[in-house]
Structure 1
């Protein structure tokens, strides 16, 4: 019998600044997802505070801390893994962080967003670089479900991130985001090109646009896709099939020409110089 992993994503209208209300919503959604058999439940980026705030510091908490402790207890109660985005406070500095919590209530993965947004709209949006510190690692996490990695919103605008995670062994890539709409084609491409399942979780429409959350298998097949409305989506990922396909996929990559990709490792890129 195949090892089928049931995963779910919860796309909902995150209310700006309403930590207690968003927590209650997360708890209710997680319980519903667990009731349909989800072993891994994925929420959006900054799911307790939302993104459109003037003051992130008032929404921040240490990890472990008050907010993550509630998520840990929730994971224990429903006996499922939970991935969720939080605003982390560490030594006076803020980070846009995602945590992965096991059914035992343990934080088995923590990732800080590495690629922060900059203001390219003349002050119409607040640059993340003004608010957050950037993460310095692209970790993968060995869990009882498989090898899992996380990336956050703008990280996914750089295909190198998903590639590094896959090269490090990520069987499942969780892409937590909070934006006007998801480019589902990117999720499909990352799944297909890296032979990793991709679960992309966004907020729903509400006070701002949203939607487009998606679950994609390692061949790039869309298993389920959301519109703009609030929803819980779930799908089964055949982990045995995934692992068999990954053996073939990574064997084929022996012909990749890494010596030709050196330009990508430069701090400055030729194309950017044209617009400076």
Structure 2
């Protein structure tokens, strides 16, 4: 076990593939981006070790760094043009990068799965210094993209519940991933913490502000209530879209297991959100009887009836007659409208 090490949230600009003319150009742009990212991590980690004295063992990259968001591109077209294959060349390049850097690299990308043709999932990944992908987490709550919950019965049959909430037990601690706005959903972080997660890698692309944003509050809350570190990397803007560049920029941070912000970035491309991670101290705190030991004080049976079978948004929405249905872009909004109507009818809202 590495006793103390530095983790860095690499605040980098995402590069949209929306304007690339074809699949080949999009894939070339993505591979070039991986090469650029390696150089930025390497130079940043050298400075961090010189400054803090601790080697960088974990670098977290922002949400959808290689492609940006799909926009109105159809799901099949975006999957073909930009989604990574599980054992595809982009993951090979990321694995080789992690080997050369000798560190864990966490990131986020859109990904296809041969078990679910016609779909893609937004996936958080962690690549080990060995070059192997040691964690693959598919985003569970998304407004405009398919999720495992939309094909829930089949997904569970293939991957099981531990594949839904994966935790990688490594020499730098037990690592888990949370995608983007999922930091606002306490159940996701709690499910991972109860499986042993000690460090949450949070890849995000969000509005930055000098005011507290919902996600900023969520990062501190998830860290404190789960007694875990949060390493949150935001984009430094998104290139080649019609939006102003800095619309999703700033406020990358590292939060400790007491909910304290250890470091936070301003705007632009930067590595300034870095801090020491002390797993031994975290574990000692988790093992100490105290009012502040929130994990040990959980009484989950109290909430089982509330959660069981009472989901506002229903599972298996993309399974029809036992086949996978490829949705149009408007499907997700229609589904939420129907959910709200049902909640009103049931007197829930």
Q: Distance in 2 between matches of 1:69 and 1:108?
A: 13
Displacement of 1:61 in angstroms is 2.1
Deviations 1:1-27 (A, max 9, x none): x92121011111111014244223312
- TM-score, reference length from structure 2: 0.69
1:45–1:86 CA contact under 8 A, matched in 2: yes
Q: Distance in 1 between matches of 2:150 and 2:58?
A: 28
Aligned-pair CA distance for 1:65: 1.1
Distance in structure 1 (CA, Å) of the matches to 2:89 and 2:63:
18
Q: Note if contact 2:121-2:145 (Cα within 8 Å) is conserved in structure 1.
A: no
Q: Secondary structure at the match of 2:63?
A: coil
Moved more, 69-78 or 263-272: 263-272
Q: Distance in 1 between the 2:104 and 2:122 partners?
A: 20
Number of paired residues? 265
Q: How far is 1:33 from its partner?
A: 3.3
> Residues of 2 paired with 1:9 and 1:252: CA distance?
26
What is the aligned partner in structure 1 of residue 236 from structure 2?
204
Secondary structure in 2 aligned to 1:128?
coil
Greater helix proportion = 2
Q: Which moved more, 1:248-257 or 1:71-80?
A: 248-257
- Residues 218 and 252 from structure 1, CA distance in 2 versus in 1: closer, same or farther, beyond 3 angstroms? closer
Matches within 5 A, 1:112-151: 112-117=138-143, 127-129=144-146, 137-151=164-178
Q: After alignment, is 16-25 or 44-53 more displaced?
A: 16-25
Is 1:264 paired with 2:307? yes
Deviating 4+ runs (over 4 angstroms): 132-136, 249-255, 269-272
RMSD between aligned alpha carbons?
2.6
The Cα shift of 1:110 comes to 0.9
Which residue number corresponds to residue 83 of structure 2? 60
Q: How does 1:143-162 map to 2 (within 5 A)?
A: 143-162=170-189
Q: Retained in 2: the 8 A contact 1:34–1:80?
A: no
Partner residue of 1:89 out of 81, 106, 112: 112
- Give the gaps of 5 or more residues in structure 2: 18-28, 49-54, 157-163, 239-244, 314-338
Contact persistence 1:109–1:141 (CA under 8 A): yes
SS at match of 2:120: strand
Inter-partner Cα distance in structure 1 for 2:174 and 2:297 = 25
| Local SS of the residue matching 1:86 | strand
Q: Which of these two proteins has the greater Rg computed from alpha carbons?
A: 2
TM-score scaled by structure 1? 0.86
Question: Partner of 2:69 in structure 1?
Answer: 51
